[in-house]
Structure 1
């Protein structure tokens, strides 16, 4: 049992060395992702990044993300998920820091390559949080909350440094894949075909299919369906009373049965079950 389970904490802190990453996914929680070692191409929203050890990513919920990992190297990272409302509640007076979550809103979805001095401060803090997270006593609970507050303050400090605004170069191939993803982002609610993409992006459709799979590890239509399902989850969260059929059409599915089957494939639950879960949490 972890602190999250023992005290119903809306925070989890993990150190993961799994070589098999999760599928394309999103979640309502905010996320702190810190890349420690390995070889990883990270798809984040409509962008693609080649990560290097020491890269920090801040995500503020419901952003599709997926790490394509080279299995020849051990993939090590720290991940902290937390409820934004809980974090804001922690930083009420006597704390005087304003905008503790501003870095997640202004620097979201862009890796920050940390300088050596900031890595030396961040890594022991993340290690300590992961260690405390596995305990179940009250003292560890309080130390964990203290460490989590310190983590958010450190991120706030780092985000104010000039190097945090670093921009990542992309190769010509990555630029073409980003164009495909941006096209899907603009048209995912429509009836998209490979011919449409090839025509509008001035690319050969067979080249597109091969390039997307090589770069991302998934097919273009896998991404399209995942993007539609992600939008459906957002709509259910915004309005749980919305009918499943209405949301299916709104996100680009022509048939409710196809939507239900695809939703369960990518989330593990039916859209009706997901909607009921959202309703019970409101």
Structure 2
């Protein structure tokens, strides 16, 4: 299977096709695929989804996909890699640091990418269309394109994607506002072990420490600590797949006691050690690995 790469921090492609020239493939980068007009089918990880004008898809590294064009289609592909992510800064404010952007994007790309269109909020669709139009206008400028403006448009698009993934979380919680807030709290504080303690989460949401896990499980089907562990392990998988971080570095960043604690937990839930997981992944794929900020 073909694996595509990009060699610039970001690339934007505008294509109008009667037939997709590339069959099932995967990338070593992140991609947002937008349909300006046309109809057909988008296969993501073996699942078929009908696409139409205004459809936006989120594709992370190693996601397999291809398009089957039924009516001439205008595609916009916004591709970006870790170099782009590391370069995202706005002033010196902590919330805009490259590291925090990377953490925010990890939350986005941990979402299921084989569930079709990413935009669930109807009010966001005209906004997405306007951003795409802005990108197209800048693209037509050729050498005079303002890269800073393009980056701001891409960052805004990413923020809209994040908001719509929150809507997906809302569906998971059955619409329970507090459960959704707890999920968002965990995502936001996943690197802060102190804030993830049950008593601190309970205090933050004014819920009894003895009841919060039961409450969370009632709303989501999963107890709170299990949810936290699963999310940490999904982040560990991302690092094992896409970075050269050592196991002790991953353990430290994700709040495990030490490398041994990470290995024991990973093996318990994944059926193999982190080292074996990485070895198997790299044995099956030769895409370049990057250092996570």
Tell me the TM-score normalized by structure 1: 0.50
Tell me which of 130, 150, 156 is aligned to 2:162.
Answer: 156
| Alignment partners' CA distance in 1, 2:169 and 2:18 | 30
1:100 aligns with 2:104: yes
Coordinate RMSD, CA, aligned: 3.8
* Aligned residue number for residue 120 of structure 1: 126
Counterpart in the other structure of 1:75 = 73
User: What are structure 1's unaligned runs of at least 5 residues?
Assistant: 167-236, 240-246, 252-270
Partners of 2:58 and 2:136 in 1: how far apart?
A: 18
Match for residue 109 of structure 1 among 106, 110, 114 = 114
* CA 1:103–1:165: 2 relative to 1, 3 Å: farther
The separation in 2 between residues aligned to 1:114 and 1:16, in whole angstroms, is 25
SS in 2 for 1:154: helix
Secondary structure at 2:152 match in 1: helix
Moved more, 25-34 or 114-123: 114-123
Which residue is 2:84 aligned to? 86
CA distance in 2, matches of 1:95, 1:121: 27
Shift in alpha-carbon separation, 1:129–1:95, aligned structure 2, 3 A: farther
Q: 1:11 maps to which residue? A: 10
State yes or no: 1:132 paired with 2:138: yes
Indicate how the Cα distance of structure 1 residues 81 and 164 shifts in structure 2: closer, same or farther if over 3 A, else same. Answer: farther
Cα distance in 2 for partners of 1:158, 1:85 equals 25
How many residues in Structure 1 have an aligned counterpart in Structure 2? 173
Runs of 4+ in 1 over 4 A off after TM superposition: 162-166
Indicate if the aligned counterparts of 2:118 and 2:164 stay in contact, CA closer than 8 A: no
**Are residues 1:142 and 2:148 paired?**
yes
Structure-1 separation of matches of 2:35 and 2:129: 10
Q: What is the TM-score with the length of structure 2 in the denominator?
A: 0.49
Residue 42 of structure 2 corresponds to: 42
CA offset digits 1:151-179 (Å, max 9, x no partner): 2222222222249869xxxxxxxxxxxxx
Match of 1:196 in 2: none
Using CA pairs under 8 Å that are at least 6 residues apart, name the structure with larger relative contact order, 1 or 2. 1
Cα deviation, residue 84, structure 1:
3.1
Aligned 8 A contact 2:35 2:51 in 1: yes
**Shift in CA distance, 12/75, structure 1 to aligned 2, threshold 3 Å:** same
> What's the offset of the Cα at 1:9?
4.2
| Gaps in structure 2 of 5+ consecutive residues | 1-5, 173-241, 245-279
Residue 113 of structure 1 contacts residue 164 of structure 1 at CA under 8 Å; is this kept in 2? no
